[in-house]
Structure 1
Amino acid sequence: MSRTVIDLDDEALEAAARELGTTTKRDTINTALREITARYRRLRALENSRQLVADGALDIDILLDKTRYRP
């Protein structure tokens, strides 16, 4: 873990803490960094899936048919 001194937007930090349910600056910033990284990974995975569907390599109807994998 690294230590960095930075100026923070206190209002943005407070708003993020409320949304994330965090209580310290450190937890808020670390949670926000993890959340944004996970969000962009999900967005990339969704776009990759869309491209597979567009290319015909993935049949979305099979994935949406829950009778195929749920008894």
Structure 2
Amino acid sequence: MHMATNLAIDPELLDHALRVGGEHTKKATVTRALEEFIARREQARILDLIGAVEWDLEFDYKAERSR
């Protein structure tokens, strides 16, 4: 589903994104930018989990496979 919208985007910023990103249209450039923004934010949430899980150094996962 697509949503038509009017946005006031800095034209210099959009032109720069077009050149750097290699997309052929403004729509494709904005779509790619949104996808990358979302991916980075989701990756950052994963990094927040570092240290949140306690590891059992004695756990032998190979032994658990042989049950």
TM-score (ref. length: structure 2)? 0.69
Q: Give the corresponding residue for 2:9.
A: 8
Deviation at 1:6, TM superposition (A): 1.8
Deviation at 1:4, TM superposition (A): 0.6
Alpha-carbon RMSD across the aligned residues, in angstroms, is: 1.8
Higher helix share: 1
Q: 1:38 to 1:58 in 2, by over 3 A?
A: farther
Runs of 4+ with >3 A deviation? none
Q: 1:13 to 1:58 in 2, by over 3 A?
A: farther
The unaligned stretches of length 5 or more in structure 1 are: 60-71
Which amino acid in the other structure matches residue 38 of structure 1? A
Which amino acid in the other structure matches residue 51 of structure 1? G
Identity of aligned residues (%): 33
1:5-38 Cα deviation digits (max 9, x unpaired):
1222111111222232212110010100000000
Deviation at 1:58, TM superposition (A): 3.9
Q: 1:58 to 1:46 in 2, by over 3 A?
A: farther
**SS of residue matched to 2:51:** helix
Number of residue equivalences: 55
Tell me which structure has the larger Cα radius of gyration: 2
Q: Give the corresponding residue for 1:43.
A: 44
Deviation at 1:51, TM superposition (A): 2.8
TM-score (ref. length: structure 1)? 0.65
